[in-house]
Chains A and B, each alone.
Chain A
Amino acid sequence: MLPLDTLSQSCIDALSALGVSMEDITCAVTLDRLADGGAGTGELALSLPLSAFFLFEQGQLTRLDYTPDTLFLLDQYRTESALLMIRAGESRQVAYLSNKPRGKVAAMIDIWQRARDGKQTSPDHPMFKQLASKCATCGKPYRFQKPTCHCDQKQKGQLRRLLSFFRPFRLQLAAVLFCLVLTSLLSLLPPLISGQLLYDQVISPPTYDEAGNMLTGRLHEVQYIFWVIGLLLLVDLLLIGVGILQSRANATMSNRVSQRMKSNVFSAMSRLSVSYFNQQPTGSLISRVNYDAEHIRDFYIDGAPRFIVNMLQFLCMAVLLFLMNWQLSLLLLIPVPLIVVIFRRRLPLLNSAYTRQYRRQSSMTAMLNDSLSGVRVVKAFAKEQEESDSFFRKSTRLYEANLHTNLISLTIFPIVGLLIGLTSSLLWGVGGVEVMGGRMTYGELTAFISYAAMLMAPLNFFSNFTNLLTRTLNSAARIFEVLDAVPDISEREQPVELERLQGRLEFQEVSFGYRPERKVLQDISFRIAPGEHIGLLGHTGSGKSTIANLIARNYDVSDGRILLDGVDVRDLSLATLHRNIAIVSQEVFLFRGTILDNIRYGRPDATKEQVEAAARVAGAHDFIMRLPDCYETFIGNGSRGLSGGERQRISIARALLTDPAILILDEATAAMDTETEQLISAAMETLIENRTAIMIAHRLSTLKNCHRLMAIEEGKLQEIGTHEELMEKKGTYYRLFTTQNDQLLKVMSGE
């Protein structure tokens, strides 16, 4: 069976009861459906040898034979799709399915269709790879070409992997850890010094226990007050000093680490194929490079050290408290679990309130952004009041969310504070009795109470730590996904390296779809000779730009082959492709930099003379010379000050300089008025001289100098030939030509 789904045993039994062996089954899909009260799942099997589909639903097996004239098609509803069979002009539904297995059913129909057209489908056909777009375990969609779902990945493994970024900084890491341990221990000293040393031994007069041992007042002299205070100051100074050292070491290290991480992510991202960037909004990519790395850095610079400090302090304090007075320590067991319970139960509430606040905040920001960037439209339609009202609604919702979070946090923390207050009153009470009974000194009691209060900080920290950890792991997962992603456009082991292509291009039965259930191109075959100029025309969405994308191998074909100079593009090295193919498209992107940099973007080693020559040929030299700094004028990515035609001419110069064997002009002049187009057309002519050119346009006048024309309609190659041949044929081109001509004539006759 082809690798779609497997059949259940009961379905296999039902099939064999009908006398169908598993060898006859070509492929199978498990259908699940939600409608009809969720009538459960079904199974659909295709048997090419028997020319039949088998539907197994609720224990019933139905056989649907098809004849060569039968059509199958998948009709997409909102939460359902229907598989329909059309035969002799009559349609009937074969099965209903939810949207989940839709891609697979589409693939099944594709297999059937290919078989009808006499084509074999092998298990390694690209469509099966394309279908594996979701993780089988967690159902989460892969956001990358290569399955890199981390749902089964151990969290511990990820933290360790993150640590590998710190490996070059072992020494600093050790120093930081040492400082941290020192800090936590030093910070435990002041209560002991001020309580048991200063108060008990210096300030208090000498007292003795029953056995005559001195309890307090061992150093009951004025000079010792200064010594002890000096000691306290020394500890404080040490703390500050160690703190500064640790922060400095940490800051250098963590900034270096985050810089390394960011550049790693960025270069991993640049390696990925175009399809990846189409799936991801730029904003999400930017935040991946920026914030995720920051989150991880924050964790290691802030979260992890504080975890160690808090852990250490907590343990030491617990031990100290029990050593000082275990009876009093037992009293602490009353409020501490209570506080832990409050934190554990209430903080999730607070967090979900924060999430909502964040969501509403971003919703308001989005609205603000929309309204302000569209301010011209708002003004043109006099919608200021409505926009204000809508903003008011959004801000009210945000206000409610803010209030809610505040109310929650304003109740949690006072209650916890009250508990702490009550505890310390209790401690003062019970401890006071102990002190009066002589079972404890006053200094011990103050130290004890200080520690008890200090115990709350770690508790608070730990209850939030899970969150911090989750956030870090989320960021880590996102970063590792990028780092681990394998671009689906990759070179063969030993790619064919060709310095200079001649420019012979051939499509052999090429089919392609960005998604498996929607074919954009179907069975396209054509051949272009070196140096030939081809005009590609068709309606919007007919697949013209897809053809350009496939030639440049921004995507790989779903079926068939594309040959360049007789070599499959998948066998050629990417460098060969990039060196020999250039695309000039309608949207010109100029990078921030000088015009010089922009022109020689594709060939950074080009000399200034070559750049100038290219600019002259592209008709750009003249206007560049009128700019303030000529070739060294700085242009931003908005390229203010440059007109569309000027930008386009820069991009033509850029393409000229790379001297490609094959040039694709994708609606390069579509956004220009006819006059500007005339200006550039001379530049265009020079550009395509001596090379294979494919020109995509919907204005036919642009294509008048092409050797041959090619019309694409609904993903199929409708016709190809010279202007005269196609006019003769009276097909798509003829219709387009006459329509555009008629319009022109109407305009000229003043109608």
Chain B
Amino acid sequence: MKEPRESIALTADNATFSPSRHGLLSLDVCLPDGTVQSYERVVAVRAFPLTSPESYIVIREPSTSANKEGQEIGTVEHLVDLPEPQAALLRKELERRYFTPEIIRIHSMRQRRGVLYIEADTEAGTVSIVVPEVVINMNVRLLEDGRILITDTDGNVFVVTHPERLDKTSQRKLGSFV
């Protein structure tokens, strides 16, 4: 049981993000007491991934088997406040981490024995999405801004950003589940 550490605000003044030798995200941070701490790899997490993807980015130590629950290092309040190319680097890491294929066209969407099967074209190619029975209302989620998030049985997330821009057939298929 480690002593919890104070989480600090990460700004252009005290934090430097850089790519690690193998293309992952490294961080050097100057702690309030003046010591500089280097992390070979850090993990970036969005505190509000749905509504504020560019703000409140929490930076954590990675969880490894030796250090099972990585601790929080600090928070980047707004990505835009970071200088380039650091902001771009962080953004790239976040995009990878929150990669959510956009559904372009829905070929079929049918419910059989309570399980929802979707065949759809996404920006990542054609996919078969299987949504388990009991939680369809939670796994096909209509957000306030009109986006539709679909979480499949493996935990993969797909999104329809503008349902109204889909072709008519896809809209109709999606319509009865939202």
Q: Assess whether A93 is interfacial by the CB under 8 Å rule.
A: yes
For B153, the closest partner residue in chain A by CB is A141
CB < 8 Å neighbour of A280 from B97, B115, B134: B134
Between-chain CB contacts (< 8 Å), 26 pairs:
A34-B127, A35-B96, A38-B124, A73-B65, A77-B97, A77-B99, A79-B99, A79-B157, A80-B97, A80-B99, A91-B62, A92-B23, A98-B156, A99-B154, A102-B155, A113-B65, A139-B130, A140-B130, A140-B153, A280-B134, A281-B134, A349-B172, A355-B176, A362-B137, A473-B113, A477-B113
CB < 8 Å neighbour of A34 from B23, B101, B114: B101
Q: Assess whether A450 is interfacial by the CB under 8 Å rule.
A: no
**Contact between B20 and A91, CB atoms less than 8 A apart:** yes
**Contact between A98 and B154, CB atoms less than 8 A apart:** yes
User: Which residues from B are CB-within-8-Å of A100?
Assistant: 154, 156
A97-133 vs B: 1/0 string, CB under 8 Å? 0111010000000000100000000000000000000
Q: Which of B55-87 contact A (CB under 8 A)?
A: 62-66, 68-69
- What's the least CB distance linking B54 to chain A, in Å? 16
Q: Assess whether A359 is interfacial by the CB under 8 Å rule.
A: yes
Q: How many A-B residue pairs have CB under 8 A?
A: 133
- What's the least CB distance linking B141 to chain A, in Å? 11
Kindly list 8 other residue pairs between chains A and B, CB separation below 8 angstroms, not including A139-B153, A353-B176: A34-B125, A84-B24, A93-B22, A356-B178, A474-B112, A715-B68, A732-B1, A736-B1
Q: Assess whether B40 is interfacial by the CB under 8 Å rule.
A: yes
- What's the least CB distance linking B47 to chain A, in Å? 14
Q: Assess whether B164 is interfacial by the CB under 8 Å rule.
A: no
User: Chain A's interface: helix, strand, loop or mixed, by majority?
Assistant: mixed
Q: Assess whether B48 is interfacial by the CB under 8 Å rule.
A: no
Q: How many residues of A contact B (CB 8 A)?
A: 53
User: Which residues from B are CB-within-8-Å of A280?
Assistant: 134
- What's the least CB distance linking B171 to chain A, in Å? 11
- What's the least CB distance linking A629 to chain B, in Å? 40
B101-119 vs A: 1/0 string, CB under 8 Å? 1000000000111110000
User: Which residues from A are CB-within-8-Å of B22?
Assistant: 90-93
Which of A141, A284, A715 has its CB near the most chain B CB atoms (within 10 A)? A141
- What's the least CB distance linking B71 to chain A, in Å? 13
For B132, the closest partner residue in chain A by CB is A141
User: Which residues from B are CB-within-8-Å of A146?
Assistant: none
* Bound form: Cα–Cα A541–B8 in Å: 26
- What's the least CB distance linking A614 to chain B, in Å? 39
Which of A35, A89, A280, A539 has its CB near the most chain B CB atoms (within 10 A)? A35
The 7 closest A-B pairs by CB, nearest first: A38-B125, A92-B22, A38-B124, A352-B176, A34-B124, A99-B154, A355-B176
User: Which residues from A are CB-within-8-Å of B172?
Assistant: 349, 352
User: Which residues from B are CB-within-8-Å of A626?
Assistant: none
User: Which residues from B are CB-within-8-Å of A102?
Assistant: 154-155
Q: Assess whether B175 is interfacial by the CB under 8 Å rule.
A: yes
* Bound form: Cα–Cα A38–B128 in Å: 13
User: Which residues from A are CB-within-8-Å of B133?
Assistant: 143, 284
CB < 8 Å neighbour of B156 from A86, A90, A99: A99
**Contact between B175 and A356, CB atoms less than 8 A apart:** yes
A35-B1 contact in complex given A102-B154, A141-B132, C-beta closer than 8 Å: no
- What's the least CB distance linking A4 to chain B, in Å? 16
User: Which residues from B are CB-within-8-Å of A281?
Assistant: 134
User: Which residues from A are CB-within-8-Å of B111?
Assistant: 355
* Bound form: Cα–Cα A93–B125 in Å: 23
Q: Assess whether A714 is interfacial by the CB under 8 Å rule.
A: yes
Q: Assess whether A75 is interfacial by the CB under 8 Å rule.
A: yes
- What's the least CB distance linking A595 to chain B, in Å? 35
* Bound form: Cα–Cα A150–B115 in Å: 12
User: Which residues from A are CB-within-8-Å of B128?
Assistant: 139
Listed in ascending order, the chain A residues whose CB lies under 8 Å from chain B are: 34-35, 37-38, 71, 73, 75, 77-80, 84, 86, 89-93, 98-100, 102, 113, 134, 138-141, 143, 150, 280-281, 284, 349, 352-353, 355-356, 359, 362-363, 366, 473-474, 477-478, 539, 713-715, 732, 735-736
**Contact between A735 and B125, CB atoms less than 8 A apart:** no
**Contact between A77 and B113, CB atoms less than 8 A apart:** no
Q: Assess whether B100 is interfacial by the CB under 8 Å rule.
A: yes
For A140, the closest partner residue in chain B by CB is B115
CB < 8 Å neighbour of B66 from A71, A355, A735: A71
User: Which residues from A are CB-within-8-Å of B134?
Assistant: 280-281, 284
- What's the least CB distance linking B10 to chain A, in Å? 20
**Contact between A93 and B99, CB atoms less than 8 A apart:** no
User: Which residues from B are CB-within-8-Å of A474?
Assistant: 112-114
**Contact between B123 and A37, CB atoms less than 8 A apart:** yes
User: Which residues from A are CB-within-8-Å of B66?
Assistant: 71
* Bound form: Cα–Cα A363–B178 in Å: 10
Q: Which of B140-178 contact A (CB under 8 A)?
A: 153-158, 172-173, 175-178
For B177, the closest partner residue in chain A by CB is A359
**Contact between B177 and A355, CB atoms less than 8 A apart:** yes
* Bound form: Cα–Cα A35–B66 in Å: 29
**Contact between A478 and B154, CB atoms less than 8 A apart:** no
**Contact between B153 and A71, CB atoms less than 8 A apart:** no
For A35, the closest partner residue in chain B by CB is B99
**Contact between A91 and B154, CB atoms less than 8 A apart:** no
**Contact between B1 and A73, CB atoms less than 8 A apart:** no
For B41, the closest partner residue in chain A by CB is A91
User: Which residues from B are CB-within-8-Å of A86?
Assistant: 64
Q: Assess whether B21 is interfacial by the CB under 8 Å rule.
A: yes
User: Which residues from B are CB-within-8-Å of A93?
Assistant: 22-24
Q: Assess whether B43 is interfacial by the CB under 8 Å rule.
A: yes
Which of B23, B66, B113, B178 has its CB near the most chain A CB atoms (within 10 A)? B113
- What's the least CB distance linking A44 to chain B, in Å? 17
User: Which residues from B are CB-within-8-Å of A366?
Assistant: 137
Q: Assess whether B16 is interfacial by the CB under 8 Å rule.
A: no
CB < 8 Å neighbour of A714 from B68, B122, B124: B68
**Contact between B23 and A77, CB atoms less than 8 A apart:** no
* Bound form: Cα–Cα A75–B21 in Å: 18
**Contact between B98 and A478, CB atoms less than 8 A apart:** no
User: Which residues from A are CB-within-8-Å of B132?
Assistant: 140-141, 143
